[in-house]
């Protein structure tokens, strides 16, 4: 343990904080946390990430370091919750070379954007891009199936002179269902549901989905060959794995029928498969071997992640520096049970807020928790070193930023989501520390603007949560056991702690903000 603790010995901190923006000087810590979250969401707006990723220069364009020639040869397809805004920006930048496009977007999204004053994320009336809405309730349906067929048709007709720009964001998998004939959409859905119920791993589920799909796992890029394919991706998956975002339609990831048969047999489902599934899996070799003029082509594409949790946290860090805090990014991949995640943030807050040298037990428990919540020991050590420097140098004002997708163990039937429950549990962990502005503030929010089945995206909390709830007759434990965090925060002080940004038009998972003020320390 002495070896670990040596990492936290105060080192001189010579860097200067950025100049504070006068606009933010008189903000409460609650408002500063909300402003930080707003900056994170702003950074990953669909039009913003597209604009920053495309460098237009006459009749050429540079994307992810690759220069592409434009000659009225640009075609566009897209699928996902944020794709409409992405497509609108692409057309503004490259529209003079755009031949046609088809995008699959959520049911009702155009009307919703119009109602919320987000017309800049809508296509113009004379757009060459066809918008197809579907996937009600985030589930594949006949409308999204028709959209997928339209996208496949466009891709199949391309030649070696064409450039296909593919726009992908979270929710894209449900908006691009294309089962291999004669499998029906319902049959494919039933197979994956039965596998999930049988305890199949996410890796097994993905292999089966790809093996039964024409477009997932590189299928779209394959059908677009010999055209050049470039994908712009807004990631909603931890670690930004290209093969998992919308099931990787432009990432070659072949699954052979023999593998899928083995998975189905392992879970005792092989004998009860529909005849259509059995027929498809009886074919030898990869999916596209038979009756495909491009069967030998790899279907490779340039895949560029242009928006992610990391991008959001980076821009949030720039904003907190303007607010007068020193930012430190813990990790964009926080996961695991919210009970453990809340404990981690509570320990980090106590480590940073200690007026004396924090007891070594805190650092030891932080390092023990790391692997269980998806955070590397090195990142924990680095974060605690920064917090230690702040204490020793007397700067003190620090902001720990993180993101990801923790999970909630459902034990009740209340309303809420992982962000609200995390904020509630962190509030309990902070109990006993000082209240703001002398004590820490924590915010957890979903960048998609919605946390579970509620209109809130998350909540803001601090060390006064327990006493505030008790004074208002609210039993925190009962709300937690019923997974009813939304009802709790709605009743607590008239809902003033809820985070409700409204329609955000994006999704890069969650953002966590832990603001720690300057702490007067005792020097022995």
The string of pLDDT tens digits covering residues 127-140 is 999 999 999 988 99
Report the candidate in 347, 344, 356 with the shortest Cα–Cα distance to residue 519.
356
Average pLDDT over residues 362-372: 97
Q: What's the CA gap between 235 and 258, in Å, rounded?
A: 31
Give residue limits of the domains in the chain.
Answer: 43-287+297-307, 309-516
The pTM is what?
Answer: 0.90
pLDDT score for 291: 42
**Six-digit token string for 20:** 């504070």
Q: What's the CA gap between 419 and 413, in Å, rounded?
A: 17
* pLDDT of 370 strictly over 70: yes
Mean pLDDT of the chain: 91
pLDDT score for 522: 60
Average pLDDT over residues 196-216: 88
Report the candidate in 141, 138, 137, 214 with the shortest Cα–Cα distance to residue 183.
214
CA dihedral of 419, 424, 427, 431, whole degrees rounded to 10: -160
* pLDDT of 5 strictly over 60: no
Residue ranges of the alpha helices (H) in 212-297? 219-224, 257-266, 275-281
- In this structure, what DSSP letter does residue 371 have? G
Peptide bond connecting 226 to the previous residue in cis, omega within 30 degrees of 0? yes
Q: How confident is the model at residue 518 (pLDDT cuts 50, 70, 90)?
A: confident
Distance of CA 403 to CAs 46, 119, 238, Å? 19, 29, 9
SS3 label, residue 217: coil
CATH class of 309-516: alpha beta
For residue 187, count other CB atoms closer than 10 A to its CB.
Answer: 16
For residue 122, count other CB atoms closer than 10 A to its CB.
Answer: 17
pLDDT score for 515: 98
Q: What's the CA gap between 515 and 355, in Å, rounded?
A: 16
Side-chain-side CA neighbours of residue 452 (13 Å): 23
Helices 338-353 and 360-369: angle between axes, nearest 10 degrees: 150
Report the candidate in 123, 105, 101, 104 with the shortest Cα–Cα distance to residue 114.
123
Q: How confident is the model at residue 491 (pLDDT cuts 50, 70, 90)?
A: very high
pLDDT score for 394: 62
Q: Specify whether the CB–CB gap between 417 and 452 falls below 8 A.
A: yes
pLDDT score for 22: 56
Q: How confident is the model at residue 319 (pLDDT cuts 50, 70, 90)?
A: very high
Q: What's the CA gap between 513 and 327, in Å, rounded?
A: 10
Q: Any idea which of 149-163, 291-305, 489-503 has the lowest mean pLDDT?
A: 291-305
Only one residue has tokens 């908006």, namely 175
Structural domain 43-287+297-307, CATH architecture: 3-Layer(aba) Sandwich (3.40)
Only one residue has tokens 């002080």, namely 493
Only one residue has tokens 């002495």, namely 2
Q: What's the CA gap between 102 and 425, in Å, rounded?
A: 44
How many DSSP H helices and E strands does the chain contain? 19, 15
**Six-digit token string for 42:** 């702003």
- In tens, the pLDDT along 253-280 reads 877 888 899 999 999 999 999 999 999 9
Classify strands 60-63 and 66-69 as parallel, antiparallel or unpaired.
Answer: antiparallel
Q: How long is the chain? A: 524
* Residue 499 dihedral angles phi and psi, to the nearest 5°: -105, 115
Which residues are CB-neighbours of 363 under 8 A, at least 6 positions away?
1, 4, 5, 8, 351, 384
- In tens, the pLDDT along 144-190 reads 999 999 999 999 999 999 999 999 999 999 999 999 999 999 999 99
Q: What's the CA gap between 428 and 430, in Å, rounded?
A: 5
* pLDDT of 9 strictly over 80: no
Strands (E), 135-221: 163-168
Average pLDDT over residues 336-355: 96
3-state SS string for 131-145: EEEECHHHCCCHHHH
Average pLDDT over residues 110-116: 96
Average pLDDT over residues 322-351: 97
């Amino acid at each position: 343990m002495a070896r670990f603790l040596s990492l936290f010995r105060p080192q001189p901190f010579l860097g200067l904080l950025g100049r504070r923006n006068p606009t933010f000087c008189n903000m409460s810590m609650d408002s500063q946390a909300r402003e930080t979250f707003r900056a994170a969401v702003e950074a990953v707006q669909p039009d913003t990430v597209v604009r920053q990723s495309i460098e237009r220069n006459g009749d050429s364009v540079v994307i992810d370091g690759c220069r592409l020639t434009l000659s009225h040869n640009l075609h566009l397809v897209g699928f996902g919750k944020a794709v409409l805004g992405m497509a609108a920006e692409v057309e503004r930048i490259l529209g003079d070379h755009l031949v046609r496009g088809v995008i699959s977007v959520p049911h009702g999204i155009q009307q919703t954007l119009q109602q919320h004053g987000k017309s800049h994320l809508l296509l113009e009336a004379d757009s060459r891009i066809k918008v197809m809405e579907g996937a009600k309730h985030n589930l594949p349906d006949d409308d999204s199936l028709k959209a997928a067929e339209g996208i496949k048709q466009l891709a199949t007709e391309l030649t070696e002179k064409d450039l296909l720009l593919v726009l992908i964001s979270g929710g894209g998998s449900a908006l691009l269902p294309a089962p291999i004939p004669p499998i029906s959409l319902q049959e494919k859905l039933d197979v994956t549901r039965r596998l999930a119920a049988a305890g199949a791993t996410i890796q097994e589920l993905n292999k089966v989905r790809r093996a039964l799909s024409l477009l997932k796992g590189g299928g779209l890029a394959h059908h677009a060959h010999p055209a050049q394919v470039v994908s712009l991706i807004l990631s909603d998956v931890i670690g930004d794995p290209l093969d998992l975002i919308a099931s990787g339609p432009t990432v070659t990831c072949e699954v052979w029928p023999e593998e899928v048969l083995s998975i189905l047999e392992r879970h005792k489902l092989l004998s009860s498969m529909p005849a259509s599934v059995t027929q498809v899996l009886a074919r030898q070799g990869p999916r596209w071997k038979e009756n495909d003029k491009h069967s030998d082509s790899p279907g490779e594409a340039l895949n560029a992640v242009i928006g992610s949790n990391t991008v959001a946290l980076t821009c949030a860090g720039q904003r907190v520096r303007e607010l007068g805090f020193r930012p430190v990014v813990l990790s964009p991949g926080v996961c695991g049970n919210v009970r453990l995640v809340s404990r981690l943030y509570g320990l980090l807050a106590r480590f940073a807020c200690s007026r004396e040298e924090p007891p070594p037990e805190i650092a030891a428990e932080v390092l023990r928790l790391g692997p269980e919540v998806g955070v590397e020991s090195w990142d924990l050590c680095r974060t605690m070193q920064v917090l230690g420097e702040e204490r020793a140098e007397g700067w003190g004002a620090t902001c720990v930023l993180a993101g990801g997708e923790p999970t909630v163990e459902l034990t009740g039937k209340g309303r809420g989501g992982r962000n609200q429950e995390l904020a509630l549990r962190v509030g309990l962990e902070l109990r006993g520390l000082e209240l703001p502005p002398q004590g820490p503030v924590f915010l957890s929010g979903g960048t998609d603007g919605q946390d579970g089945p509620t209109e809130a995206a998350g909540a803001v909390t601090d060390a006064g949560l327990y006493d505030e709830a008790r004074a208002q007759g609210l039993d925190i434990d009962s709300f937690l056991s019923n997974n009813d965090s939304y009802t709790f925060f709605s009743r607590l002080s008239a809902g003033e702690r809820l985070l409700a940004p409204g329609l955000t038009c994006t999704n890069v998972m969650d953002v966590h903000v832990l603001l720690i003020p300057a702490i007067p320390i005792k020097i022995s």
